[in-house]
Structure 1
Amino acid sequence: MTEPLLKVTGVGKVFGTLRALNGVDVAVHANTFHGLIGPNGSGKSTLLKAIAGDHFADEGEVLFAGEDITTMSPAERSRRGLSLKFQITAILPELTVYDNLLLALQAHQSMWGLLLSRTRQRLDADVMDMLAQFRLTGKAQSLAGEMSHGEQQWLEIAMALALKPKLLLLDEPTGGMSPEERRVTGELLEPIRDYCALVIVEHDLDFIKDICDNLTVLDQGQVLDDGTVAEIEGSTKVQEVYTTRV
């Protein structure tokens, strides 16, 4: 089997007297969708942030595409092909949907390059392709802040994918969505397998089981179980946790 795109080994994280992560191991292969599930406070979002560089692991290492990124800044990780969308939407509400995506596509360009080039014209086709992929073409000139919650989430996912990362990290992307919006979100994510792996934290177990190939279950900062969706569904350890603690 090929080496994992993402390999988390022995990662620990401490906040004061709280050990939020304790020796966590996770492996994610290219072009696969990997879910992180577990009870509230199990360490899911903490692990996602350690992978993204929002905070650094106190122990262990994070390898991405064979390179040690454990202490790299979020910007350095982004340049290597890692992208993150947090739970709270971070669009620019006073700009149009088009301009939000344009800015995302310009993210890795230098200020000098932006001043010298006509990037709006050059990137127009890329912006319109992303709008079409996320069913937002008709909203291109609408203010991002005036869209529905679900549409804002889709816009931010599109922005996170604008530079075609190798790995996308999503933290509860369907929070606050209607059942129909959650269904559409799954449909919108499926095509990115062609170029991007996904690690997703999600409380909607039906949603995450429908789209993911593999699941890692965390409990009290440790890996309780790891495997395919079918293996996790049949795990007595996982059934006990979700029966008694969720």
Structure 2
Amino acid sequence: MSGDPILSLRGVGKRFGPLRALDGVDLDVAPRSFHGLIGPNGSGKSTLLRAIAGEHLPDEGSVSFAGEDITTAQPARRARAGLSIKFQITAVLKSLTVYDNLLLALQAAGAPGLGALLLSRTRRSLHEAVMEQLAAFRLAEHADTVAANLSHGQQQWLEIAMALAARPRLLLLDEPTGGMSPEERRATGELLQPIREHCALVIVEHDLDFIKEFCDRLTVLDGGKVLDEGTPAEIEGSEKVQAVYTRRA
């Protein structure tokens, strides 16, 4: 990995009662790279993502983002530093239009006071940015559609667009293609590619065919530990990884 990583974890551990969900995890993510987290069910992928996001604070080890120690930082501080997350369950406001969902995300990113949001003082000034972002995620023609009426895949795209509203330096995605059709999965990969210009990505995904197509590196977890790490080609040829997936099949 050339240069300093945007994200660096060292010896991260997390327990839930007697369960050791993460056990000494090391991880480095390069700026503007796409890094996949894979592994069998219960291997610790989503727990690791939440430890990075600040939802689960590690019991041991350290988390560094853009050179800053954020091990014990609250999620709001991580967001201000440039870290954004989209969880597996869609959290769009389904009673609002697609346009207003993204507008609120942009307003919150640029004008954190509740008064500004209620008065919508920034609506006119943000119109161009809203439409540009909707176009980037193939949603411009659905701007006036109530979000509840979007397909499952389109709701996922809208939430990714909302997570990118603050132009973060790192985006965390938890199984973004779950429940999507093959066509929507392919489109999701295409829609994510342009964010490389300004944003790194850490993605948890079960669809190995999807993730190996556009990730630069993969980290394989098993039992809360790093089993292997490398390029998609290296992981595909890893005997350790093959043994785990064969055992779990």
TM-score (norm 1): 0.98
Question: 1:204-243 counterparts in 2 under 5 A?
Answer: 204-243=207-246
Name the counterpart of 1:135: 138
Deviations 1:95-141 (A, max 9, x none): 00000001111124222444677210011111000000000001000
Distance 1:116 1:100, change over 3 A: closer
In structure 2, C-alpha distance between the alignment counterparts of 1:144 and 1:80, rounded to whole Å: 29
Q: Which runs of 5+ in 2 are unaligned?
A: none
Name the counterpart of 1:74: 75
Amino acid corresponding to residue 38 of structure 2 in structure 1: I
User: Alpha carbon RMSD of aligned pairs, Å?
Assistant: 1.1
In structure 2, C-alpha distance between the alignment counterparts of 1:51 and 1:106, rounded to whole Å: 25
Name the counterpart of 2:62: 61
Deviations 1:180-215 (A, max 9, x none): 000000000001000000000000000000010000
Name the counterpart of 2:96: 95
In structure 2, C-alpha distance between the alignment counterparts of 1:24 and 1:50, rounded to whole Å: 11
In structure 2, C-alpha distance between the alignment counterparts of 1:117 and 1:40, rounded to whole Å: 43
Name the counterpart of 2:197: 194
1:173 to 173, 176, 189: 176
In structure 1, C-alpha distance between the alignment counterparts of 2:163 and 2:186, rounded to whole Å: 20
In structure 2, C-alpha distance between the alignment counterparts of 1:180 and 1:6, rounded to whole Å: 31
2:29 aligned with 1:20, yes or no?
no
Deviations 1:210-238 (A, max 9, x none): 01000000000000001111111111101
SS at 2:99's partner residue? Answer: helix
Q: Does the 8 Å contact 2:104/2:117 carry over to 1?
A: no
Amino acid corresponding to residue 21 of structure 1 in structure 2: L
Moved more, 113-122 or 88-97: 113-122
Question: 1:147-162 counterparts in 2 under 5 A?
Answer: 147-162=150-165
Moved more, 32-41 or 111-120: 111-120
SS at 2:22's partner residue? Answer: strand
Distance 1:149 1:115, change over 3 A: closer
2:49 aligned with 1:48, yes or no?
yes
Task: Report the Cα offset of residue 55 of structure 1.
Answer: 1.3
Task: Report the Cα offset of residue 162 of structure 1.
Answer: 1.0
2:128 to 125, 130, 135: 125
**Structure 1 consecutive aligned stretches of length 4 or more whose deviation exceeds 6 Å:** none
Q: Which runs of 5+ in 1 are unaligned?
A: none
In structure 2, C-alpha distance between the alignment counterparts of 1:239 and 1:58, rounded to whole Å: 30
In the alignment of these two chains, the number of paired residues is 246
Name the counterpart of 1:203: 206
In structure 1, C-alpha distance between the alignment counterparts of 2:103 and 2:184, rounded to whole Å: 24
